[in-house]
Amino acid sequence: MSATQPAIALRGVTKRFGAITAVDRLDLEVPAGICLGLLGNNGAGKSTTMRLLTAQAIADEGAVEVLGHALPRESKAARARSGVVPQRDNLDEELTVAQQLEVFARLYRVPRRERDSAIARALELADLAARADTRIDALSGGMRRRLLIARGLVHRPELLLLDEPTVGLDPQVRQELWSLIVTLRDAGTTVVMSTHYIEEAEELADDVAIMARGRVIDRGAPAALVARHAGAEVRELTGDARALAHAETQARALGLPTRRRGPQVAVLRAEGLDGQLGPGRTRPAVLEDVFVSVTGEEAT
Amino acid sequence: MSASSASGAARAASPSPPPPRSAPRRMELRALGGVLHREWVVFTRYWRSTTFSAVVEPTIFLLAFGFGIGALVAEVQGMAYLDFVGTGVVAMAVLFASVFPAMFGTYVKRRFQHTYDGILAAPIDVRELVTAEALWIGVRSGTYGLAPLLVASAFGLRPGWAVLLVPLIGILTGFGFAAMGIFLSSVVPSIDSFGYVISALVTPLFLLAGTFFPLENLPGWVAAGAVVNPLYHTVELVRGAVFGLAGASPLGHVLGLLVFAALMWTAAVVGMRRVLID
């Protein structure tokens, strides 16, 4: 892969499952060394996109290239240089932590002379050195998640694919994993992370690609997306149904996008409104406002 | 994650230089080795229970039939009935030790444990995965197939030197039936469906292979049909190896098992590719 070559390039990729089009003419390019967040609700096509990148799903149309290898023909070569952390826990319950890492060090073709140090490094990375001889079925949920990440990194891949890495984890463990992902990205690993947690994408991703109905609707740095779609401030208005409907009509007349959220209406690009549209509070615009604005869907 | 580990992580996380390119179409020994290693590590955890069932069940068959029917039938095809059934049960032991783990084990690893999703994210393709799984089960079942011979030897069986070929016959047979089990696991709609497979396929296979009684006494069409039963070829080869029976050439039987293994391997690869790759 040359310095200017993207780590990932998808061009016009379509993947169908019967009548359902999971990925629809997707174009996506990921430069090397960044963390890209694929943000979307369930069914947006994120997981299918991740499986296309390992050739565990084959595109019906279009071209997929990973680390300079055309898939599916050169998928083994691409997978040798990639690490995968699946959404679904598929650890070998009956093995110990160290055994699991050794199995994957072999599967990922880490040379024999480097295998012990690779396992030690992965244990250190996941903070599991003290648990090396613990059976996996005795680990906590957070430890299992860290082991999944360590397993995907045992061969020091250039590209790490994280499919919903923190789903179902408690906030403390999530923070730990976020630190680890930042560390990896800072060390030069290209990270592609699918998530439906907006704050996760906002926190970790250099670039966010918002997916809906199998396509990337918009893409950019989180701050740039926010500035583009939601402006600097959001005004959250409260009141009875009639007042809210009136406020929405007024905001639209001013060319400002709105979103309904329970008993509130949020008016985007509200900087400079200066108390117009009725009582409420003003807050900084966030990525969630963008997500709802461009997809028309509330985040799940 | 601790602060010390975070700093260690920075060192640990640096990507390594790219490994040598792997050949896109060629079956690679390194890939097979990775899967075989995983099976070996798992086996070291469960070898006692696995070995117990693989050895004890055929031994019970051997003793029950050998002494039960053997008391009524002194000789079959010129050999003591215990010797006849002792060699027949070798084939049955290989069948049971290959087709059952392949059906149930593969199904559980694919549908419930999602083990194959993890493995196929590494540089391994479905062909290599199926080959390694069938090879592992084949070698294991070929080894277990020796147990009935050892038991029969304790009761007077005196095999010739060609008995050393029995593990090879067992491995070839086990590979074919393991591939068959893997294929079946890819087409059944649920794990309960294996009940149909066992009743309608596995039971006739081991009863109509000349394991417990000679096929000549059966209706002609059944005896003729045995030619397409791979286990019949295993039984003939094992008896030939143990007793050095003259007359029939073993090449036809070997060819029968090779064709069966090749067909089942192909079916298993196609079936598993269908269910593992979207």
DSSP string, chain B: --HHHHHHHHHHHSPPPPPPPPPSSS--HHHHHHHHHHHHHHHHHHHHHHHHHHHHHHHHHHHHHHHHTTTT--EETTEEHHHHHHHHHHHHHHHHHHHHIIIIIHHIIIIIS-HHHHHTTSS--HHHHHHHHHHHHHHHHHHHTHHHHHHHHHTT----GGGGGHHHHHHHHHHHHHHHHHHHHHH-SSGGGHHHHIIIIIHHHHHTTSSSS-GGGS-HHHHHHGGG-HHHHHHHHHHHHHH---SS-SHHHHHHHHHHHHHHHHHHHHHHHHHH--
Q: Mean pLDDT, chain B, as a whole number?
A: 86
List pLDDT tens digits, range B119-156: 999 999 999 999 999 999 999 999 998 888 888 888 87
Nearest by CB to residue A189, choosing from B1, B15, B24, is B15
pLDDT of residue B7: 47
Residue B70 confidence (pLDDT): 80
Q: Characterize the bridge pairing of strands A215-220 and A190-195.
A: unpaired
Distance of residue B105 Cα from the nearest chain A Cα, in angstroms: 13
Please list every residue in chain A whose beta carbon sits closer than 8 Å to the beta carbon of residue B33.
106
Of residues B174 and A173, more confidence is placed in B174
What average pLDDT does the segment B10-19 reach?
56
Same domain, A181 and A280: no
Q: Is the pLDDT of residue B10 over 60?
A: no
The residue segments making up the domain with residue A270 are 232-284
pLDDT at B63 over 70: yes
pLDDT at B28: 87
Structure confidence at residue A104 (pLDDT): 94
Look at A56 and B120 and tell me if their CB atoms are within 8 Å. Answer: yes
Q: Based on the domain organization, do A157 and A270 belong to the same domain? A: no
Q: Tell which of A56, A65, A76, A89 to mutate to test the B interface (max B CBs under 10 Å).
A: A76
Contacting residues of B for A146, CB less than 8 Å apart: 1
Is a pLDDT exceeding 70 seen at residue B8? Answer: no
- Average the pLDDT over B155-182 and give the result: 90
Does the distance separating the beta carbons of B115 and A80 come in below 8 Å?
Answer: no
CA distance A185 to A191: 6
- A15 at interface of B, judged by CB pairs closer than 8 A: yes
Same domain, A154 and A192: yes
Mind telling me how many Å the CA of B238 is from chain A's nearest CA?
36
Chain A hits for B37, CB-CB cut-off 8 Å, are: 102-103, 106
Report the pLDDT averaged over residues B9-35.
67
Chain centroid offset of residue B249 CA = 24
Q: Both tokens of residue A152?
A: 């995907």
Give the pair of three-digit tokens for residue A72.
């599916």
Shared-domain flag, residues A177 and A90: yes
B92: CB partners within 8 A, 6+ apart: B58, B61, B148, B206, B211, B231
Measure the CA–CA gap between B171 and B145, rounded to whole angstroms. 9
Q: Does A150 lie in the same domain as A82?
A: yes
A positions 65-94 inside 8 Å of B (CB): 67, 73-77, 79-82, 84, 86, 88-94
Mutate to test the interface with B, among A90, A97, A134, A178 (most CBs of B within 10 A): A90
Question: Are A167 and A250 in a shared domain?
Answer: no
Amino acid A298: pLDDT: 58
Q: Report the number of distinct structural domains present in chain A.
A: 2
Which chain A residues have a beta carbon less than 8 Å from that of B35?
107
**Would you say residue A24 lies in a domain?**
no
B49 touches chain A (CB under 8 A): no
Query: Tokens at residue B57, please?
Result: 């069940």
- Closest Cβ opposite residue B278 in set A51, A67, A94: A51
Chain B interface includes A146 (CB < 8 A): yes
Cross-chain Cβ contact A158/B15 below 8 Å: yes
pLDDT tens sequence for chain A (300 residues): 555 789 999 999 999 998 899 999 999 999 998 999 998 888 889 999 999 999 999 999 999 999 999 999 999 999 999 999 998 889 998 899 999 999 999 999 999 999 999 999 999 888 899 999 999 999 988 889 889 989 999 999 999 999 988 877 778 878 888 888 888 888 888 999 998 888 888 888 999 999 988 999 999 998 888 888 877 888 888 877 787 888 788 888 878 888 877 778 888 887 777 666 677 788 888 888 888 888 876 555
Residues B263 and A258: their CA atoms lie apart, in Å, by 63
Residues A201, A260 share a domain: no
Q: How far apart are CA B89 and CA B73, in angstroms?
A: 17
Measure in Å the smallest separation between the Cα of A51 and chain B Cα atoms.
8
pLDDT at B3: 42
Residue A294 counted as domain residue: no
Cβ within 8 Å, pair A90-B10: no
CB contact under 8 A, B120 and A93: no
The CATH number linked to A187 is: 3.40.50.300
For residue A272, what is the domain's CATH number? 3.30.70
Are A203 and A241 found together in one domain? no
Q: Tell whether the model's pLDDT for residue B54 goes beyond 60.
A: yes
Which residues of chain B lie closer than 8 angstroms to A74, CB-CB?
21, 24
Residues of chain B with Cβ-Cβ distance to A124 below 8 Å are 5, 8-9, 12
How close B39 gets to chain A, by Cα (Å)? 9
Task: Name residues 21-50 of chain A within 8 A of B (Cβ).
Answer: 48
Are residues A52 and A131 located together in one domain of the fold? yes
B29 vs A: CB within 8 A: no
Q: Does A127 touch chain B (CB under 8 A)?
A: yes
Domain check: are A217 and A244 in the same one?
A: no
Q: Confirm or reject contact between A174 and chain B (CB < 8 A).
A: no
- Residues B153/B159, Cβ–Cβ less than 8 Å: yes
> What are the extents of the domains in chain B?
91-143+157-276
Q: Is A124 on the interface with B (CB under 8 A)?
A: yes
Residues A137 and A240 occupy one common structural domain: no
A23: in domain: no
Residues of A in contact with B28 (CB under 8 A): 76
Task: Report pLDDT digits (tens) over B182-198.
Answer: 999 999 999 999 999 99
Complex prediction ipTM: 0.84
Domain identity same for A159 and A180: yes
CB-based contact (8 Å) between A61 and chain B? no
Q: Which B residues 193-222 touch A at CB under 8 Å?
A: none
Q: What are the tokens at A205?
A: 């991703």
What is the per-residue DSSP string for chain A?
--TTS-SEEEEEEEEEETTEEEEEEEEEEE-TT-EEEEE--TTSSHHHHHHHHTTSS--SEEEEEETTEEETTTHHHHHHTEEEE-SS----TTSBHHHHHHHHHHHTT--HHHHHHHHHHHHHHTT-GGGTTSBGGGS-HHHHHHHHHHHHHTT--SEEEEESTTTT--HHHHHHHHHHHHHHHHTT-EEEEEES-HHHHHHH-SEEEEEETTEEEEEE-HHHHHHHHH-SEEEEEE--HHHHHHHHHHHHHTT--EEEETTEEEESS-TT-TTTTSSEEEEE--HHHHHHHHHSS---
Predicted confidence band at B263 (pLDDT cuts at 50, 70, 90)?
A: very high
pTM higher than 0.95: no
The minimum CA-CA distance between B37 and chain A, rounded to whole Å, is 7
CB of A155 within 8 Å of a chain B CB? The answer is: yes
B274 touches chain A (CB under 8 A): no
d(C-alpha B157, C-alpha B63), whole Å: 13
